[in-house]
């Protein structure tokens, strides 16, 4: 009998995240070479100012486009890639979008390579990723999430357009980072009120989830209604008076306020886009629970 697994994947004005309501408990594969040592860099394309895309291979397929996203737990491949590789479906799953649901499966990818990263027997999800074609100018063959990125400390250098895996130099701003239900979350302050934010490199802007008990944050500048996937949601553009992330303060930053698409599952107050805040280098070390960045 199959054990059914559900996870959400959303696109909120460029925000992409997945969230499993039931973890399958798959083991992380080994990263080669040893993850505690510097293991090299991989160049990336920065699309629309925030979307990190690298070129790599999966099994026998070469020259694939991988969207690297710290807001995703489990790496997810397009069904077309799974079909070409003849991947055997292991566990059926429901893929939940805001306002809709689509089918997905769990499978084992024989190998994954991009830059210095070489993995084998990787547990993945497969789904229809054609919705990315509506917001990005290139075909996206897979979303690479924290199950792969989190195996090693890494630094995203937005200026140089490279990701460095392995040990990294200390950056000026440092704060604790923790895994919460598989997602990288940290504490921050908005207008001197504490919030818990998801670190999401797949986001085009800062997004805050509005609740009935939460007071308005910032000054509203405009309101609009946006169609996302098969559902629509209200969003409101605001300008934050002060966003405190570790020792760094960001002032008068734009953000979007919307309802929490899955309030029973997403136990944080919003997401932070490093690119939207003008962060030039971002260092993530999940093993030590440290987030560092420079502006």
- How many Å is the Cα radius of gyration of the chain? 18
pTM for this predicted structure: 0.83
- In terms of domains, do 9 and 118 share one? yes
- In terms of domains, do 135 and 200 share one? no
CB 260 within 8 A of CB 266: yes
- In terms of domains, do 127 and 197 share one? no
Total domains in the chain come to: 2
> 155-175: per-residue pLDDT in tens?
999 999 999 998 777 899 999
Taking the C-alpha atoms of residue 8 and residue 261, their distance in angstroms, rounded to an integer, is 9
- In a domain? residue 166: no
> What is the average per-residue pLDDT within 145-149?
92
Predicted confidence band of residue 284 (pLDDT cuts 50, 70, 90): very high
Q: Tell me, what CATH number does 239's domain have?
A: 2.40.70.10
> 246-260: per-residue pLDDT in tens?
999 999 999 988 876
Determine the pLDDT at residue 32: 38
Task: Write out the DSSP string of 150-210.
Answer: TTS-EEEETTTTEEEES--PPPSEEEE-EEETTEEEEEEEETTEEEEEEE-TT-SSEEEEE
Determine the pLDDT at residue 85: 93
Q: Give the residue among 160, 78, 165, 156 at the shortest CA–CA distance from 119.
A: 165
> What is the average per-residue pLDDT within 257-279?
80
Q: Which residues contact 251 (CB under 8 A, 6 or more apart)?
A: 240, 241, 242, 243
- In a domain? residue 110: yes
Determine the pLDDT at residue 52: 97
Q: Give the highest mean pLDDT range of 39-53, 120-134, 199-213, 257-271.
A: 39-53
- In a domain? residue 136: yes
> 15-50: per-residue pLDDT in tens?
555 554 444 444 444 443 334 455 789 999 999 999
- In a domain? residue 162: no
Q: Give the highest mean pLDDT range of 35-49, 175-189, 203-217, 254-268.
A: 175-189
Determine the pLDDT at residue 106: 86
- In a domain? residue 188: yes
Determine the pLDDT at residue 100: 45
> 218-238: per-residue pLDDT in tens?
544 444 433 333 334 467 888
Predicted confidence band of residue 136 (pLDDT cuts 50, 70, 90): confident
Is residue 121 over pLDDT 80?
yes
- In terms of domains, do 90 and 198 share one? no
- In terms of domains, do 115 and 256 share one? no
DSSP code for 116: T
Determine the pLDDT at residue 5: 38
């Amino acid at each position: 009998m199959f054990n059914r697994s559900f996870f959400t994947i959303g696109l909120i004005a460029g925000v992409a995240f997945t969230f499993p309501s039931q973890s399958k408990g798959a083991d992380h594969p080994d990263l080669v070479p040893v993850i505690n040592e510097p293991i090299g860099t991989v160049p990336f394309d920065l699309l629309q100012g925030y979307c990190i895309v690298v070129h790599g291979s999966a099994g026998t397929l070469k020259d694939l486009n991988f969207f690297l996203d710290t807001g995703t737990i489990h790496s997810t491949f397009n069904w077309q890639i799974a079909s070409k590789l003849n991947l055997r479906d292991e566990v059926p799953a429901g893929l939940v979008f805001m306002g809709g649901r689509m089918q997905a499966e769990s499978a084992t990818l024989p190998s994954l390579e991009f830059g210095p990263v070489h993995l084998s027997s990787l547990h993945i999800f497969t789904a229809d990723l054609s919705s990315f074609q509506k917001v990005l100018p290139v075909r996206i063959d897979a979303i690479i999430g924290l199950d792969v990125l989190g195996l090693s400390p890494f630094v995203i250098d937005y200026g140089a357009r490279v990701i460095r895996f392995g040990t990294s130099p200390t950056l000026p701003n440092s704060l604790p980072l923790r895994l919460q239900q598989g997602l990288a979350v940290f504490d921050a302050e908005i207008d001197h009120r504490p919030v818990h934010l998801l670190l999401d490199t797949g986001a085009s802007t800062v997004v805050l989830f509005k609740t009935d008990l939460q007071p308005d944050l910032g000054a509203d500048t405009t309101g609009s209604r946006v169609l996302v996937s098969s559902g629509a949601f209200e969003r409101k553009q605001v300008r934050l008076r002060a966003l405190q992330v570790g020792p760094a303060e960001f002032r008068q930053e734009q953000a979007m306020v919307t309802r929490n698409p899955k309030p029973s599952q997403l136990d944080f107050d919003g997401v932070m886009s490093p690119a939207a805040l003008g962060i030039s280098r971002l260092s993530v070390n999940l093993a030590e629970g440290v987030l560092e960045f420079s502006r």
